[in-house]
Structure 1
Amino acid sequence: MTSLRAAVRSKTPLRGPFIAIPAPMAVDIVAGAKPDFICIDTEHSPISDGVLTDMLRAADLAQVPALVRVRGVLAQNITAALDAGACGVLVPHVSTAEEAAAVVRAARFPPHGARGAGPARAASYLRDIGGMISRAREETLVAVQLETLRAVANVEDILAVEGIDLVFIGPGDLGVDAAAHGSIAPVEALIERLVSAAEAAQVPVGIFTADRAASKRWMARLSFVIEGSDALFLTQASDAAAAPLD
């Protein structure tokens, strides 16, 4: 089976949701629809490390690749997700080349990084350290999320960091940051700056969308979209179900 990293690097069209509900059952339900991947979101949810491991087990059983959006750029966040068995990480709020390089160091084994080889689930609890390292070198997807004005200003330097497989645009936080700093540039122009820079650098680029229509528009140009989340789907379905019958 082609790894998610290989599919991203070849720019195969890929679309999947965030999973934010802290339960393996949520993974079972969403993965049953056979998205191209899921991205378990530990940044904006109460998913603990133990629950994350069980959610990754559920994704493996469904044979759906599972990324993890980690809590932040700290190395322990990144290695915990990879040790639990994630096929890659999406690291939020990366705004400089130095931060991007730190992400790579945490996610990659030597000589390309400084990740430690621990006896966790990814290594079959010590039974397969060598196999884990070999697989990780080939298959671990490292994605950074660009969602600040600093990231826009530094995008070329970030894209030049070796070991980054994907840059991912967060339109919501980018809009919040732009408004907070009084940016006169429309969010759409900031997004275009990021997309154009990634295209020029030949680095795969993805974006978050809230619905199918937005995904369809972006996938005419990009190859990677995270669309909505299980929590969003449940909210929308609940609102529809509870609406007045008349």
Structure 2
Amino acid sequence: MVDLPANPFKTALQKGRLQRGIWFTLRDSLAAEMLAGCGYDWMLIDTEHSPMAAPDVLSMLQAVAPYPVSPIVRPGSLDVAEIKKLLDLGAQSILVPMVNDADMACEAVAAVRYPPEGLRGVSGMSRANRFGKVPGYHPRASEAICLLVQVESVEALGNIEEIAAVEGVDGIFVGPADLAASLGHPGESSHPEVVDAVLDAVRRIAAAGVPPGILTMDPQVYDDAIAAGALFVSRDLDLIAMRKGLSPLPERD
């Protein structure tokens, strides 16, 4: 028998420790393993805006398992069946996109908890419970599961305090890209109105007693978000880092 696997990312947020991470979208387990050893506290395995599906997520989780990095998995949407599958594959931290109100936050909580508190389907033999070797896994599973929800619309901004008040929400991530579109500035995450809304959201989430998070490529917004209270932060995405690292080809005659 083995102990319930710990979730150091959840513990760090509970203790108020800043966690720096990277966004991962490449459908390649070797790349995932390489990034896992680069010193980040967490890496987000993204299925919403990448070609990855559940079998790919399994490969990524297995690739990063030996390294001191906490994988977070983002499903494509608030889908109970999809989230159930990701949890059974061993994902302990889930980032649910497009959560606009407290009702959706409650549904996300239910998706990661077993009955009677939730809707997660029960499997006795899964990677999550070390194939049946974790005694008492099912009643204790939520201890090691970290649920993060995304606020990334004008509607969600108006409901931050209600979302933060939902028991079982462990962190709230502010999504600048979708928020920019919702505010009428698609593709302009650094627009002053968007930046003001993002930083205000971070402050309100922190004031509500919930750890805020953000992904931004703008170094000033990154620093300002941390100053405003953001605890899980990223300023890099694998594809952008790859593009920046490539030497430009010389101009042709």
**Scaled by the length of structure 1, what TM-score is found?**
0.89
Which residue identity is paired with 2:143? E
Aligned twin of 2:243: 235
Kindly state the Cα deviation for residue 204 of structure 1 after the two structures are TM-superposed: 0.7
Change (3 A) 1:237 1:191: same
| Deviation, structure 1 residue 2 | 6.2
Instruction: Choose the corresponding residue for 1:152, options 117, 141, 157.
Output: 157
Q: Provide the residue aligned with 1:186 in structure 2.
A: 193
Task: Give yes or no for contact 1:152–1:193 (8 Å, CA) kept in 2.
Answer: no
Residue from 108, 111, 114 that aligns with 1:106: 111
Asked if the contact 1:26–1:230 (Cα under 8 Å) also holds between the matched residues in 2, the reply is no
1:198 match: 205
- Of residues 120, 124, 128 in structure 1, which corresponds to 2:126? 120
AA partner of residue 138 (structure 1): E
Map of 1:13 onto structure 2: 18
Superposition deviation, residue 64 in structure 1: 1.6
Q: Deviations over 1:135-194 (max 9, x none)?
A: 52211110001100110111121111110000000011100111079xxx9112322332
Q: How far has the Cα of 1:209 moved from its partner? A: 1.6
Q: Check whether the contact 1:117–1:129 (CA below 8 A) recurs between aligned residues.
A: no
Aligned length: 240
- CA deviation map 1:4-34 (0-9, x unaligned): 1111122201000011001111111111112
Tell whether 2:51 aligns with 1:46: yes
* Corresponding residue number in structure 1 for 2:176: 171
Give the corresponding residue for 2:234: 226
Q: Which runs of 5+ in 1 are unaligned?
A: none
Contact between 2:97 and 2:151, CA under 8 Å: does it hold in 1? yes
Deviation at 1:129, TM superposition (A): 5.8
The answer to whether 1:244 aligns with 2:250 is yes
Matched to 1:137, the amino acid is S
The one-letter amino acid of 1:216's match is D
TM-score relative to the length of structure 2: 0.86
Partner of 1:57: 62
SS at match of 1:186: helix
Task: Measure, in 2, the Cα distance between the counterparts of 1:228 and 1:135.
Answer: 34
Q: Which amino acid aligns with 1:215?
A: Y
Give structure 1 regions of 4+ aligned residues with deviation exceeding 3 angstroms.
129-132, 211-217
The answer to whether 1:207 aligns with 2:217 is no
Report the equivalent of 2:167.
162
Retained in 1: the 8 A contact 2:20–2:233? yes
Give the superposition deviation at 1:66: 0.5
> Could you say if the C-alpha distance between residues 25 and 128 of structure 1 is closer, same or farther in structure 2, counting changes exceeding 3 Å?
same
Instruction: Report SS of the residue matched to 1:215.
Output: helix
> C-alpha separation between the residues in 1 aligned to 2:200 and 2:226?
17
Cα deviation for residue 44 of structure 1 reads: 0.4
SS of 2:128's equivalent in the other structure is: helix
Distance in structure 2 (CA, Å) of the matches to 1:58 and 1:131: 27
Aligned-partner residue type, residue 195 of structure 1: V
